[in-house]
Structure 1
Amino acid sequence: MRAIKRWLDVDDYKPLAFSENLDIVYYAMPVDTSDLVHNAARHGYVRLTMKCNSPYAYSRNTSTHSFDISSGMKIIELHNKGDVAIYPTVEILKIGNGDVKIENLSDYTEPFIFSNLKDREIVKVNGVKEIIESSLYGNERYDDFNDNYIRLDYGKNRLKVTGKCKLRFTFRFKYR
């Protein structure tokens, strides 16, 4: 039991899942004191109170396959199986020089637009942390982005992609 108490002695939120559904993860840490209850015969339990970092539970990280938009325009569908809107990470491999535009036809928000991308440049846009990384320029691509991160509402999201590229999305569903 003491090993369990040491294991739970953390200073930051850590993933916590229960055996009933290991695909649902909470980010939690113990608060207050823990009670060690046992019968001195190696049987017992630990009673504790946990605090979560948000009102949501999350799925494990999900990555899509690579969408090939080498034709210059394609409509793709992504399904948000969670309960609330999420902001995915988008990885773009540009084919030829030019722009990439992604419009969510399901929620009518402003489009996601990246300008002046170079051939074979890989740009990774984290929609949660709002961080942009480029394989050519480090983090200096903010001037070429319109600051409209992709939002995926609950259910089916139809995305119209304009511009020759390959795309991959990574996200976690959020549950109430």
Structure 2
Amino acid sequence: MRPDRTIGRLVRRETHSSRAAASVLTAGALAGLWLWLALESVLALLQEHPLLVSPDHLGRWIIGVPANTVPAGLVAGGAGLAILGLVLLWAAVTRGRRTRHALHSNRSAVVADDEVLAAALSRRARLTAGLTPGQVTTTVSRRAVRVQVRPTSGVPVDRDAIDAAVGDELAAYSLDRRIALNIHILREGALGQ
């Protein structure tokens, strides 16, 4: 296997979440239900006492549910099953992305958490503008970086310098996909900073 292909597989494993937990939970619940039904059927064939309910009692109960249940209860039960089905379908179809980004490297798989990237970009913006740590907050999402700067009251900040510095920092990471950069300077400043 080529190294670049191996690196790609490692990066994908770290940036996407597994469906193993949902699959095991669903399969375990279904297997438990079928095993219980099989056990009850065997006990009924051997004419033993059932663990919970015999298959013929269960069948009669299922047949009698529509006649013995309020229509609102049937609608609620159907809606609950539909929601469960949609949740399982959504978990199976959608891509599970973790809050991480891959950084380009020819030698190894490098993955950074979005919070780590946000802290580094905040630090760069803060040092460029000469601000304290509480005056710059950064959020990193899958497609965008938003830097929010709260200047000291009465002291203007150079938006272009912050934009250039944070842009250079972001470019130095060589992320696997392009991310839009948005610098937002707040109008109200921080007092006594």
Shorter-chain TM-score category? under 0.3
Larger RCO of the pair (alpha carbons < 8 Å, separation 6+): 1
TM norm structure 2: 0.26
TM norm structure 1: 0.27
- Structure number with higher helix proportion: 2
Which protein has the larger Cα radius of gyration, Structure 1 or Structure 2? 2
